[in-house]
Structure 1
C-alpha cells in the first residue's frame, strides 16, 4: 500500500482545504474526520475492486458526497462557513454550491487560502510549519515530531493550540485581499523555507535528508507562484533557492545511504532540469528592488551550480555573498558557512581564524556540524588528533544514524592519518 500512502498524503491537503471552505475553519476537525472517512472507505473498496483509474477523483468525489451527507444531517444543529450559510440551508442550492466548491480551480484556490490561514500572525513559526505539514501535507504528529526533534505529545499540543487560533477566523484567508495577502506573504515564505530546509538538512532522528519534505515545500511554492499576488520577486527567489538545492538531492546520499558533502558530490548526477529551472527563477527574482536572504541563498547555490567541478567554484564571489547575507540576516550558521567558504578560498588556517572570530559561536555548540567543520579544517592542517577530538564531539551531538556514520568515517580518516 506504499503507493496508496503517497496518494493519501498528496490528496489530504486538497481535500481538507476544500472541506474547510464548505464547513468553515471553526469546523476544521470535522473536515479532517471526513477526509479520514474517505481514506478508510478507499482502503476497503480498493482492496476488493482494485484501485480506480483516477484515484484522486474517486477520493474527492467520496469526500464531496460525505460532505453533503454531513450538511444535510447537521445544518440545523451546527453553523458552517458564514459566507455560505444561506446557500447550504436549501436543497435547491446545496448541491450546486458544493459541486462548484469541489471544482479543480476552486480546490487550488482553497489550498492557497489554507496555506495563508496556517501562517496566522498570532502563531509562532514552528506552529505555522507544523500546521502546514499536518493540514496541507498529510503528516502525522509522530512524523512532525521526528522532523523537528520533539515529542508526539508536544507536537499534539502545539497543533491543538494553533488550531484554536485558526478557529477564531471562522473562514479561510481571503487571497483576493491584496493588502492582507502582502502582509502575510513573508510568513508564508518563511514557513515554506523552513519546511524545505528541514527536509534538505534537518534534525530528524531517523535521517538527515527528507526528500518528501523538500518536494512538499516545492509543490506549495509552485501553487503560490500561480496566484497573481504570489508571483513576487521574493517568491521567485525562494523557488530558485529550493530548485537549485533540490537539484543536488540525487547526490546528497550515496548508494549505501551515507551522507555526501558538497565537495565530494558527482555533479554530473545533479538534476540539470532543476538547475535550469532554478536559474530561470533566479533571473525572474531580479525584477524588484529588494534583496532578501532567499535571493542571496539562491545566488550562492547558482555559483555552485554553474561550476562543472568543485575546483571551478568561484569562492571569492561566494564569500562576498555571505558577507551581504550576514548584513541582512546575521546568524552564527551563516557565519560558519562563510568561514568554510573562506577556508576553500584561502586555506584551512584562515577558515579556522574565521570560525574563532564568530561573535556568538557559543550558540553553535549544540550543532554537530560546527565541531565537524573544525575537525575538517584541523584535518586539512595535518593535526589529526585535534581533528579526531572535534569529530568525536560532533559524533556525540549527531541526530541520526546517517550523521553518525558520516562522522565515524571522518574519525577513521583521522586515525589513518589521511590528508583530508
Structure 2
C-alpha cells in the first residue's frame, strides 16, 4: 500500500479515466435499458474505494482494485435482481453459473473488449432517436465522466437544461429499444458526426477547463485523443478523413501545452509564449494526421480548425502569423458553422487583418446570442479591441466584466494583469 494521501484527487482521477470503461462494460452486461444500473454500480464502486482506502491505504494498483470491486458488484446485482429486471444482454447468462462467471468476466473486462464496449457506448449515445443536444450530453456524462455543471458550461447553458436533456435521452433509449452496438453502413456515417463532436467537446474542456485550479486538464485531453484513436482504429469506419482531421486539431493544440503557462503557473497568451517550448514531435504527429485527412479533398469543421491551428504552429514567431490566411479559413468555416463562438474567434482575425473597429462591429452581431454575454471571453476579446482602438475607459469596464465572469483563478489573474497594465497607460 502507498501512503494514504490525496485520496479524493485519486478517486476523481480514476473516475475520469476508468468510469467510462466500467459503465461501458457493465452496460453490455446489464443491457442498455439498464444504463442507470451500470452507472450506479460504478458510483458505488468509487464510493467503496474512497471509504476503504481511507482506512486501509491506497492499493498498489488502484485501477485493478476498482475493476475487481465492480466485477463483484455486477455479480451481486445479477443474483439479487434476477427477477426484478429484464436483462437482454447476450452475455448475462454466462454470469449466472459459477463455472462460467469468472472466465466470462475476465473476457468482458479484457482491454480489447473494453475498447469495443466504449465504441459501442459512444455510438449508442449518438443514436438518431436521441436529440442531438441530448446525444452529446449523454455521452459526456456516461462515457467521459463529466459532471452535470461541467456539461452545462460546455454547452453555455443551465444545469436544469442538461438534466432535462439527460432525462429525455434515457427515455428515448427505453422507448426506442436502442441496441448496444456499433452501427453499419449509412447508419454509421450518420452517427459519426455526433461522436466526433462529443470527443471535441471533451478535448475543449481539458484545453480550457471550466472548473478547478488548473487551466489545462491534461487527462481530459488525453482521454479525448484516446477515444478518437479508438474510433480511427475501427475498420468499419470508412472514410476516416474527419477523424484524422480531429486528431490533427487535437495534437497540434496539445503541442503548445508546455508554453501556455509560465514557471509560476500563470496563463500566457500565444503572443507571450516561448515557442521553444512547443513540442516538435506532437506538432509533427498533428501535421501527419492533417495530411492524412486531406487525402480525398474532404472538408469539415475539423479540417479548417486544424489548418488554422497549423498556421499558428508553423509561424516562427507571433509577428509572422499569417492572419490573412487564417481569416480566409474562418470565412469558409462560418459557412459550415455559424455559431457565436466561431464568430467570436473570427473577430480576432478581423482585427489583425482589417481593423479593431470592424472587429468590434462583428462582436455586436453576436452580443444578443443566448449565454454569450455571460461568457468571459466575449468581454475579454472586446476589451482587447477597445484597447487597440484607444477606448481605454470602455476597455477597463469590459475587462472588469470579464474578470467577474472568468471561471478560473488563473484566467482572472491574466485578465487582472491586463487591466493593471491598462490603468498605467
Q: Normalising by the residue count of structure 1, what TM-score does the alignment of the two structures yield?
A: 0.85
Structure 1: distance between partners of 2:336 and 2:150: 33
Structure 2: distance between partners of 1:41 and 1:397: 37
Give the match for residue 73 of structure 2. 66
Question: Could you say what secondary structure the match of 2:271 adopts?
Answer: helix
Give the match for residue 204 of structure 2. 197
1:269 corresponds to which of 267, 270, 277: 277
Going from structure 1 to structure 2, the CA distance change for 1:54 and 1:239 (only over 3 Å counts) comes to same
Give the match for residue 28 of structure 2. 21
1:360 corresponds to which of 362, 365, 368: 365
Give the match for residue 162 of structure 1. 169
Is structure 2 residue 175 aligned with structure 1 residue 138? no
- Pairs within 5 Å for 1:15-414: 15-43=22-50, 46=53, 50-84=57-91, 87=94, 94-141=101-148, 143-144=150-151, 155-168=162-175, 170=177, 172-175=179-182, 177-201=184-208, 204=211, 209-230=216-237, 232-345=240-353, 350-357=355-362, 360-362=365-367, 363=369, 365-395=373-403, 397-414=405-422
Tell me the CA shift for residue 291 of structure 1.
0.3
Structure 2: distance between partners of 1:107 and 1:31: 14
Q: Normalising by the residue count of structure 2, what TM-score does the alignment of the two structures yield?
A: 0.84
Going from structure 1 to structure 2, the CA distance change for 1:15 and 1:335 (only over 3 Å counts) comes to closer
Going from structure 1 to structure 2, the CA distance change for 1:354 and 1:147 (only over 3 Å counts) comes to closer
Contact 1:22 1:98 in 2 (8 A): no
CA RMSD of superposed structures (Å): 3.1
Q: Deviation per CA, 1:11-63, whole angstroms, max 9, x where unpaired?
A: 11111111110110122222223223433444455556654444333332332
Structure 2: distance between partners of 1:140 and 1:404: 23
Tell me the CA shift for residue 381 of structure 1.
4.2
Tell me the CA shift for residue 200 of structure 1.
2.5
Tell me the CA shift for residue 238 of structure 1.
0.8
Tell me the CA shift for residue 230 of structure 1.
4.0
Q: Deviation per CA, 1:129-172, whole angstroms, max 9, x where unpaired?
A: 33233322334445545665666665444433322323345565
Going from structure 1 to structure 2, the CA distance change for 1:11 and 1:392 (only over 3 Å counts) comes to closer
Tell me the CA shift for residue 6 of structure 1.
1.3
Going from structure 1 to structure 2, the CA distance change for 1:293 and 1:171 (only over 3 Å counts) comes to closer
Structure 2: distance between partners of 1:331 and 1:155: 19
Q: Deviation per CA, 1:239-287, whole angstroms, max 9, x where unpaired?
A: 1111111222333333444332222212222233321221111111112
Question: Could you say what secondary structure the match of 2:236 adopts?
Answer: coil
Structure 2 unmatched runs, 5+: 1-6
Contact 1:146 1:204 in 2 (8 A): no
Structure 2: distance between partners of 1:3 and 1:397: 29
Structure 1 unmatched runs, 5+: none
Question: Could you say what secondary structure the match of 2:182 adopts?
Answer: coil
Structure 2: distance between partners of 1:230 and 1:370: 38
Contact 1:119 1:187 in 2 (8 A): yes
